[in-house]
Amino acid sequence: MTASRNPDRLLQRAGVSGNPDRDQHFLVDERVLDRLPTYLPDDADRSHVLEIGGGTGALTDRLLATSDRVTVIERDPDLAAFLRREFADERTAGRLTVIEGDALERDLPTDVTASVSNLPYGVSSEITFRLLPLGVPTVLMFQREFAERMAADSGTGEYGRLSVSAGHYADVAVVEPVPPTAFSPPPAVESAVVRTTPRDPDYEVADEDFFLRFVKAVFTQRRKTVRNAIRNTAHISGLADPDAVVDAAAEATMSKRAGDLTPDDFAVLAGLALEHGVGADG
């Protein structure tokens, strides 16, 4: 099967144009659209692909051409209705499901095997951290700055909470920059495609929720030493005795800043924090 729907004609048939005020920019570059499904890992299971934000169906069409089954979540009622009409045959054949609603509120299908999506940038972080725990490969479009922070290594200027949190679930790679002209209307920022390939981290954490909360807390004061960051953010991390954590940790680590710590360092610190700094109710 090959994709046949032209993105500009889909916009015309739907009778819509993008609305920057609603974070609505339609991907219309056919070359980029054709490439997106190919960025999934070669061994990816394509039996059920999830798309967040189907819009007028330009990417949906490409996913149907390369996957067995597709589920689309679209929050705009008019666009959801258009998708149902435009892809009526695929829906009748059981190959497409259209879910109307907000991807941050609707239950995600539990049997998806991958996700390929052009995400609304305003909620891209929240949606990403709903997708990553599913443990499936993803190909996602982001604002370029966000994409580079997501894939950054420790010790670089882009490295931060996003890098550690995303890397906890998957290997992250920026696979293609995308110019504003690929969208209608063009956004005011550069974009980029990111591939995430799920894998277990090379460290262990006793409490994943606490680990991610601890990372978030320390990075809120990334310009301070880790010692001061731990002490100053106990209200975020939930530490009852941050001084006990500081005393238990290596002095060399406490003298660094958050951006200099590797994910493994954060795992060690989070373990010490759980052991020494969390009260009976933590």
Q: What is the CATH number of the domain that holds 147?
A: 3.40.50.150
Q: Indicate the residue among 174, 198, 222 that finishes a domain.
A: 198
Q: Indicate the residue among 198, 222, 257 that finishes a domain.
A: 198
How high is the pLDDT of residue 8?
94
User: Are 140 and 109 found together in one domain?
Assistant: yes
User: Are 172 and 218 found together in one domain?
Assistant: no
Find, among 31, 34, 16, 132, the residue nearest to 74 by Cα.
16
User: Are 114 and 22 found together in one domain?
Assistant: yes
The CA distance from 218 to 228, in Å, is 9
Whole domain around residue 244: which residue ranges? 208-277
For the chain, what's the residue count? 282
User: Are 140 and 13 found together in one domain?
Assistant: yes
The CA distance from 192 to 144, in Å, is 5
Q: What is the DSSP letter of 25?
A: -
Is residue 2 situated within a structural domain? Answer: no
The CA distance from 12 to 279, in Å, is 60
Is residue 203 situated within a structural domain? Answer: no
User: Are 57 and 169 found together in one domain?
Assistant: yes
pTM of the model: 0.92
Is residue 101 situated within a structural domain? Answer: yes
Number of separate domains in the chain:
2
User: Are 91 and 213 found together in one domain?
Assistant: no
User: Are 173 and 229 found together in one domain?
Assistant: no
Q: Which residue has the tokens 């238990």?
A: 248
CATH value at residue 263 = 1.10.8
Is residue 186 situated within a structural domain? Answer: yes
Residues within the annotated binding site? Answer: 25, 27, 53, 74, 102, 118
User: Are 169 and 267 found together in one domain?
Assistant: no
Category of 149 on φ-ψ map: left (φ > 0), alpha (ψ -120 to 50) or beta: alpha
> How is the beta sheet containing 96-100 ordered, strand by strand?
96-100, 70-74, 49-52, 114-118, 138-143, 191-198, 170-178
User: Are 189 and 242 found together in one domain?
Assistant: no
Residues within the annotated binding site for S-adenosyl-L-methionine? Answer: 25, 27, 53, 74, 102, 118
Q: End-to-end distance of the chain based on CA atoms, in angstroms?
A: 54
Is residue 268 situated within a structural domain? Answer: yes
How high is the pLDDT of residue 3?
63
Angle between helical axes of 7-14 and 58-66 (0-180°, round to 10): 130
How high is the pLDDT of residue 281?
47
Find, among 220, 211, 226, the residue nearest to 263 by Cα.
211
Q: Please give the backbone phi and psi of residue 242, each rounded to the nearest 5 degrees, phi first.
A: -65, -30
User: Are 23 and 74 found together in one domain?
Assistant: yes
Contacts of 15 (CB under 8 A, 6+ apart): none
User: Are 105 and 229 found together in one domain?
Assistant: no
User: Residue-wise pLDDT tens for the chain (282 aa)?
Assistant: 566 899 999 999 999 987 777 778 899 999 999 999 999 999 999 999 999 999 999 999 999 999 999 999 999 999 999 999 999 999 999 999 999 999 999 999 999 999 999 998 889 999 999 999 999 999 999 999 999 999 999 989 999 999 999 999 999 999 999 999 999 999 999 999 999 999 999 999 999 999 999 999 999 999 999 999 999 999 999 999 999 999 999 999 999 999 999 999 999 999 999 999 885 444
User: Are 73 and 122 found together in one domain?
Assistant: yes
Q: Please give the backbone phi and psi of residue 138, each rounded to the nearest 5 degrees, phi first.
A: -135, 155
Q: Indicate the residue among 198, 223, 238 that finishes a domain.
A: 198
